[in-house]
A and B are shown apart, each in its own frame.
Chain A
Amino acid sequence: MSARRGPRFVAQLSFTMLVCAFLIVPVVLSVLAGVSVNFFIGVKSGLTLRWVGEVWSLYRDSIFLSMKIAIACLAVTLVLGVPIAYVLARAANRWTRLFEELLVLPVAVPGLATALALILFYGEWRAFRASWTFILVGHVLFTLPFMVRSVVAVMSAIDLRTLEDAAASLGAGFLQRFFGVIIPNARAGILAGALMVVTLSIGEFNITWMLHTPLTKTIPVGLADSYASMRLEIGSAYTIVFFIMIVPLLIAMQWLSAERNPGKAAT
């Protein structure tokens, strides 16, 4: 870039800053509200962690439930998603492409509709309906496509078939090939998919809101609940807690994809 920066550069920079401000200012305000003694007076009223503490005592169960569901969801999508991705990447024909499209349906269909379908189908099974595994099913439906696509993308980029032929010629049976060659070489896609699944599961609201019971509230449902029925400061403090959980995941995801792209040249 030249040392002299024209008016065009200044204009672009200002515009970018303005857009950023537009997006970030409300977030900053919300965070500030969460640590102010009194929102209506503002930061002048003093800073406190009281509201954050309050959120912890009120919604601790939601936080633990969300983590439990996210981890279970990750486990299920790994066990189902990686083999599905493998089959799709290996076969790669008309039918597998159709299947891949079908798999994305739960993402395209509004979450409320998916949830309604689940309730209509399984609502009669009381114990299942009331347990956290009911929410888990919704989350798996919603996140599985992301895992599959992420893994398929990486598996299609490497010449899986030839790698497997090579391993087989050296005497490796299917399981040895799968765990010794295929999985390690799809690692980047599996990791990216895993982060995506955990992030989406923790943040998922639409389906969860329909599926939850008073005893199975996840973090985002609790967030809506606190906005609706608590002091504004508590709702805002809740936002902080939510950020603390989700932002590291988002950063890790960014870092992973940045890591992957420059490495493309070396295959």
Chain B
Amino acid sequence: MTNLASGVRLDACGKTFDDGTQALEPIDLEIAAGETVVLLGPSGCGKTTTLRIIAGLEQPDAGGRVWFGAEDVTALPIERRNVGMVFQSYALFPNMSVAGNIGYGLKVRRVEAAARSREVLRLLDMMHLSGMGERRVDQLSGGQRQRVALARALAVRPRVLLLDEPLTALDAKLRESLRIDIDRLLRTLGMTAVYVTHDQAEAMALGDRIAVMSHGRIAQIGTPQDIYYRPATEFVADFIGTMNRLPGQCHDGVLRVAGGSLPLPADGHGADHAMFRPQDGQIVAPGQGDLAGRIAAVFFLGNATRIIVELDDVQSVVVETGERRAFREGDRVGVRVDPGGIMTLRR
């Protein structure tokens, strides 16, 4: 397959709807050719709106520009932008067979029938749908429908593939397997892709970079590791996974907090708080470790045990461990924190 993928750039693209809702403040976003960027954020934060601006289904407010590579496509309607779209609700055409759906974009482009059906067969094969071409779309499972939708979007060799929560309607198992397939496809085809989700595990697994959005703004954009270990704002820290945050006073690079003290990282000297992930904490004997407290609750999660340790009346921390010890509520314990896992918000 020839690679027609192009990079995408949004310049100051804001969106105010007719009813006055400002869904998006003017944002800048640059996606390299062949890169997968995941838009992640809570409901209503503007993910779909951003995607629709890239697609051409929504016009940005005056001043905003959309670029595909070196071409300014702001004024082009969606049907002339050559994008592929995949929707949460599949949006397959009920009046067409599986093959009819996949071949629709080629038919619209007046590709002759023989070439079209060859291409459809190739895509069916690629999506593990061989032999299903003549089925009606309502005879397919959810996972199969979404594969058809992907094949349909890929058939037109889009410059950029846009996916809006494509796995949300599927159950957990299917979601996992289709996610792996999508990941493989995006890599082998060298597709430029924008993937919307509010599932952080999906975002981590798929994204070359993740843009965490909040209230119509990009709160932080970076690699999954960046976002996870170097959150730029309180919102990002809290949205991605569980984060312990303890306020305190800094003395010589050590933060005094409830129940003890924590060494601050070199770039965090002078901070008024420290944060760490639950898996960077460890339950140790009372009197040892960095923090002292009492076990308030224990949850066995299967692959790990989550322990909530109360440090005083106000502050508590969450620790997650794979140890097979028994932890009892009410026990006095110490918490040791891996110094490499301690971080502060950049200011």
Q: Is the CB of B152 closer than 8 A to any CB of chain A?
A: yes
Establish whether residues B93 and A168, one from each chain, have CB atoms under 8 Å apart when the complex forms: no
**C-alpha spacing A159/B87, complex, angstroms:** 12
Establish whether residues B93 and A185, one from each chain, have CB atoms under 8 Å apart when the complex forms: yes
Chain B hits for A180, CB < 8 A: 104, 108
- Give the nearest-CB partner of B109 in chain A: A171
Q: Is the CB of B287 closer than 8 A to any CB of chain A?
A: no
CB within 8 Å of A: which B136-160 residues:
138, 152-153, 156
Known: A165-B78, A184-B95. 7 other contacts (CB 8 A): A165-B85, A166-B85, A166-B93, A169-B85, A170-B156, A172-B104, A187-B95
A-B contact pairs, 9 of them (CB 8 A): A162-B87, A162-B89, A165-B91, A171-B79, A171-B80, A171-B108, A171-B109, A181-B93, A185-B94
**C-alpha spacing A184/B153, complex, angstroms:** 21
Q: How large, as a class, is the contact surface on chain A?
A: 20 to 34
Chain B hits for A267, CB < 8 A: 94, 138
Most buried by B among A170, A173, A176, A180: A170
Q: Is the CB of B82 closer than 8 A to any CB of chain A?
A: yes
CB within 8 Å of A: which B72-124 residues:
77-80, 82-85, 87, 89, 91-95, 104-105, 108-109
**C-alpha spacing A165/B48, complex, angstroms:** 13
With A266-B138, A267-B138 already in contact, the answer to whether A168 and B91 are too (CB < 8 A) is: no
Establish whether residues A168 and B95, one from each chain, have CB atoms under 8 Å apart when the complex forms: no
Chain B hits for A166, CB < 8 A: 85, 87, 91-93, 152
Establish whether residues A167 and B93, one from each chain, have CB atoms under 8 Å apart when the complex forms: yes
Q: Is the CB of A158 closer than 8 A to any CB of chain B?
A: yes
Q: Is the CB of A163 closer than 8 A to any CB of chain B?
A: yes
Chain A hits for B93, CB < 8 A: 163, 166-167, 181, 184-185
Partner of A181, one of B78, B95, B105: B95
Chain A hits for B87, CB < 8 A: 162, 165-166
- Mark each residue of chain A from 248 to 267: 1 if its CB lies under 8 Å from any CB of chain B, else 0: 00000000000000000011
Establish whether residues A172 and B91, one from each chain, have CB atoms under 8 Å apart when the complex forms: no
Please report whether the interface of chain A is mostly helix, strand, loop or mixed according to DSSP: helix
Chain A hits for B57, CB < 8 A: 165, 168-169
Chain A hits for B83, CB < 8 A: 169
Chain A hits for B82, CB < 8 A: 171
- Give the nearest-CB partner of A183 in chain B: B95
With A163-B93, A185-B95 already in contact, the answer to whether A168 and B104 are too (CB < 8 A) is: no
Chain A nearest Cβ from B73, distance in angstroms: 13
Chain B hits for A170, CB < 8 A: 79, 104-105, 108, 152-153, 156
Most buried by A among B55, B78, B156, B162: B78
**C-alpha spacing A39/B26, complex, angstroms:** 85
**C-alpha spacing A176/B77, complex, angstroms:** 15
Chain A hits for B162, CB < 8 A: 169
Chain A hits for B55, CB < 8 A: 165, 169
Partner of A163, one of B84, B91, B109, B152: B91
Most buried by B among A159, A169, A176: A169
Closest 3 CB pairs of A and B: A170-B105, A184-B95, A169-B85
Chain A hits for B84, CB < 8 A: 169
- Mark each residue of chain B from 53 to 69: 1 if its CB lies under 8 Å from any CB of chain A, else 0: 00101000000000000
- Mark each residue of chain A from 102 to 117: 1 if its CB lies under 8 Å from any CB of chain B, else 0: 0000000000000000
Establish whether residues B105 and A171, one from each chain, have CB atoms under 8 Å apart when the complex forms: yes
Chain B hits for A185, CB < 8 A: 93-95
Establish whether residues B91 and A173, one from each chain, have CB atoms under 8 Å apart when the complex forms: no
**C-alpha spacing A185/B93, complex, angstroms:** 8
